Chains A and B, each alone.
Chain A
Amino acid sequence: MLYAILCYHREDVVGSWTKEEDDAVMAKLSVVHEKLAREGRLGPVARLLPTTAATTLRKDSDPPLVIDGPFAETKEQLLGFYLVEGETLEQILDTARELGRANPGGAYEIRPVGHYYPATATAKA
């Protein structure tokens, strides 16, 4: 069974870490990552760029509405995510619109990925 572990934290606090503090956290995490990778249990890992880099596509209207910033509603829940390669935000928005036509309603928050570590585990889900 494959599980997603979703990481939440206060962005103003994480953003106030010095580079040394940030590096120290990343170094401690990478020890855990390496252990999981050796056990063949680690799927892809992504550290997302700050929410200020986010764009949200509201797909409950037609055409969908593009909004600056992260998804801010609390009445909807996180149900899944994609990792998609793209050159520009426009290209990713087109992809999101295409997905939205297949599954209207709700929203997609589009966040660039800062750090990415590919999977070492084979999905068994």
Chain B
Amino acid sequence: MAEAADMAWINTALTAARPQAMGALLRYFRDLDRAEEAFQEACLRALKAWPRNGPPRDAAAWLILVGRNATVDSLRRLARQQALPEEDTLLAEGGEDDAEATLADRLDGADYRDDILRLLFICCPPDLPAAQQIALALRIVSGLSVAEIARAFLIGDSAMEQRITRAKARVTRSGVPFETPGAPERAERLGAVAAMLYLLFNEGYSAGGDTVERRAPLAQEAIRLARLLLRLFPSEPEIMGLLALMLLQQARAGARFDADGAAVLLEDQDRGRWNGPMIAEGLALIDKAMRHGRPTPYLVQAAIAALHARAATAADTDWTQIDLLYATLEHIQPSPVVTLNRSVATAKVRGPAAALAMIEPLADRLAGYFHFFGVKGAYLTQLGRTAEARVAFDRAIALAHTPAEAAHIRQHLDGLQREATPT
């Protein structure tokens, strides 16, 4: 019993310390595999030492010191050189207080935030497919096992192993940037990492049906890493916006699916089941970010989510303001999907005809996009153009990615059917 409790707190402490410890070990060894081995060795020693000696004052500093010394030691043995001098051996054994304190002091400096940023950044080379970026981050930064990641991605262990090995090789090939970044490089890294974290969040958040349980932890992990990033870079409004966006969306998780696993539309959700503290945190972050006076894509999306969160009922939603925010988003990050989303607000403010006119020019670019046909079908239904609506809904079902998406469109089709056959 005591052992199980020990294991639980040690595992939590190791998870919490991992990004910082791995980041520092990567900088020290300049080799991803070696850094991982060193961290692994340090974790094994922690599992032995911590239940006996209690937790160290600074878990990350302990892991860095022990992992580094153990690995250096074993490298020297491999090189058949003489054993470590006595005092170094002592350090390797226990992470003795003085050395740990010195290292902890150094870690409080600016270095370690760039260590963690670098660790996250190497997971997202622009030419690495999104799914591989996420898998790599879950392995390297979060420390999930290959089996755990495979489970979340609904593929076999060996396929995931290959995917991660290839992604790592890709990272090694392109070279890890070890120089301390200047302001432009830091901004670029933050941008790439933010995008990767939002993808990770969506892997969890967009899960539906029977995959929810397996994938929802990905959304929570994305939130944890975004919080970590914002703690390191507390004045970055775009990271505030990213975390706010994730929190405001995740706050609805408990209300997004009914008992049968079918998606519940935002306007039909039981708002009493939304997570109050998450919404409060999201709103507070938006307030903070707004003070910087720079509308950035995540922040504007978060502000849109905030207007939904602030509405006590669906009828209280400030669609005019949402329409304006989408107009801002179209301006700073033009994309057909943004326009499609804007049209939903436009439909509420100016009616389905205006909304349909807004999305018709997108038909070519969104020809393979499920939501385009779902939304189009809804506007056509509202306009009484039933036959065209049915065509759009049929197309949507053909493009649905999840059973929940398809089931939702079938409800629309059933609605059309009922209207067509008066009883």
**A interface residue numbers (CB < 8 A to B):** 10-13, 15-19, 21, 49-53, 55, 66-70, 88-90, 112-115
Question: What is the minimal beta-carbon distance from A11 to any residue of chain B, in angstroms?
Answer: 7
- The total of chain B residues at the interface (CB under 8 A) is 25
Asked if B281 and A17 make an inter-chain contact with CB atoms under 8 angstroms apart, the answer reads no
B334 within 8 A of A: no
Known contacts A11-B231, A49-B281, A114-B277: A55-B288 contact under CB 8 Å:
yes
Cross-interface CB contact of B280 among A15, A17, A51, A112, cutoff 8 Å = A112
**Top-5 shortest CB links A-B:** A69-B234, A89-B287, A114-B277, A16-B16, A12-B16
Question: What is the minimal beta-carbon distance from A91 to any residue of chain B, in angstroms?
Answer: 10
Asked if B16 and A10 make an inter-chain contact with CB atoms under 8 angstroms apart, the answer reads yes
Question: What is the minimal beta-carbon distance from A18 to any residue of chain B, in angstroms?
Answer: 8
Residues of chain B within 8 A (CB-CB) of A50 are 227, 281
Q: Could you say which of B13, B17, B227, B243 has the most chain A C-beta atoms within 10 Å of its C-beta? A: B227
Asked if B288 and A89 make an inter-chain contact with CB atoms under 8 angstroms apart, the answer reads yes
Cross-interface CB contact of B284 among A12, A66, A70, A112, cutoff 8 Å = A112
Residues of chain A within 8 A (CB-CB) of B8 are 21
Known contacts A66-B291, A115-B277: A52-B12 contact under CB 8 Å:
no
Q: Could you tell me the distance between the alpha carbons of A18 and B16 in the complex, rounded to whole angstroms? A: 12
Cross-interface CB contact of A13 among B12, B217, B235, B281, cutoff 8 Å = B12
Residue-wise interface mask of B (26-40) relative to A, using a CB-CB cutoff of 8 A (1 in contact, 0 not)? 000000000000000
B224 within 8 A of A: yes
B313 within 8 A of A: no
Cross-interface CB contact of B12 among A17, A68, A112, cutoff 8 Å = A17
Q: Could you tell me the distance between the alpha carbons of A54 and B23 in the complex, rounded to whole angstroms? A: 26
Asked if A53 and B284 make an inter-chain contact with CB atoms under 8 angstroms apart, the answer reads yes
Q: Could you tell me the distance between the alpha carbons of A16 and B15 in the complex, rounded to whole angstroms? A: 7
Residue-wise interface mask of B (225-255) relative to A, using a CB-CB cutoff of 8 A (1 in contact, 0 not)? 0011011001100001001000000000000
Residues of chain A within 8 A (CB-CB) of B235 are 67-69
Q: Which residue of B lies closest to A52 (CB)?
A: B230
Residues of chain B within 8 A (CB-CB) of A68 are 234-235, 240, 288
Asked if B291 and A52 make an inter-chain contact with CB atoms under 8 angstroms apart, the answer reads no
Cross-interface CB contact of B13 among A13, A66, A67, cutoff 8 Å = A13
B386 within 8 A of A: no
Q: Could you say which of A51, A69, A88, A89 has the most chain B C-beta atoms within 10 Å of its C-beta? A: A89
Asked if B287 and A88 make an inter-chain contact with CB atoms under 8 angstroms apart, the answer reads yes
Asked if A114 and B280 make an inter-chain contact with CB atoms under 8 angstroms apart, the answer reads yes
Residues of chain B within 8 A (CB-CB) of A10 are 16
Residues of chain A within 8 A (CB-CB) of B280 are 49, 112-114
